[in-house]
Amino acid sequence: MSTQGGAQRGAARQDDRARFDLAVQLVDAASAESCREHLRLLARLGYDGAAVARCVARKVGRSDAGQVSAIELSAGGAGRFRQFSRLTATLSEAAHAYALNPSNGVTPTYDLVAAVPTTEPLFDQCCRQLDVDLISLPLAERLPFRLSLPPIAAAIARGVHFEICYAPALRDSSARRNLISNAQQLLRLTRGRNVVLSSGAERPMELRGPHDVANLCVAPPALAWLPLLTAAAAEASCLA
């Protein structure tokens, strides 16, 4: 990623008390106001910052470069709230993966790059080869492939993180069951390492504060679907 983006990620990791939501979606310019309210609420909930994501479900091209800018948050006491830019690419064919090469000049314009692989070969490639920060799986759905240890271990060794978004579990029982089952499997394979908790919220009402997110992970009768994470680790996993 870019030198500036790398410096920002490093600074975030150095502060164990910092809390970030890394999954705020920016659909288009028209959604900027909704995104602004989303970010203001995160600031009021106690987060120190968030990543605003441009989501692409096709081959990444030059038109995708630098499409996320900081959003003014003058209201709501969010003066110290930090914003990061994120590119989230859904990969459904090999060409989509190859397009994430940093030499394309697109990915270096973002602070964070996340990949959403939809096939087992693409998942393996994300874990072993692609220059990405996050692998975000649709855990609230029935996964189209089986998670296995070798690629996950390779991703951890390379410093790549896996993202779990909690908001889908708040929407309906089917999504909740899938998320619980898939998250437990992922946590068993990762042993709780290199896991990031994000909201993936589509509406402000789906947002939870950092401590509430930690409670979702470890305390019945909440979700209790991340038994391998201690409370402290669960809070720390909100880090960029």
Predicted TM-score (pTM) of the model is: 0.80
- For 183-229, what is each residue's pLDDT tens digit? 889 989 998 899 988 988 877 888 888 888 777 665 443 344 443 33
4 vs 118, which has greater pLDDT?
118
d(CA 42, CA 120): 34
- Work out the mean pLDDT of the chain and round it to a whole number: 78
d(CA 40, CA 36): 6
* CATH numbers and ranges of domains, the chain: 3-236 (3.20.20.140)
**pLDDT reading at 11 higher than 70:** no
73 vs 7, which has greater pLDDT?
73
Helix then strand then coil, in percent of the chain rounded to 5, is: 40, 20, 40
Q: Choose from 17-21, 37-41, 60-64, 236-240 the range with maximum mean pLDDT.
A: 37-41
Question: 46 by DSSP, 3-state: which?
Answer: coil
- For 53-76, what is each residue's pLDDT tens digit? 888 888 887 777 777 777 777 655
DSSP 194: T
Span 170-174, average pLDDT: 86
The encoded tokens of residue 23 equal 């999954």
Answer positive or negative: Cα dihedral of 20, 17, 154, 177: negative
The encoded tokens of residue 177 equal 């069951």
- Give residue 13's pLDDT: 43
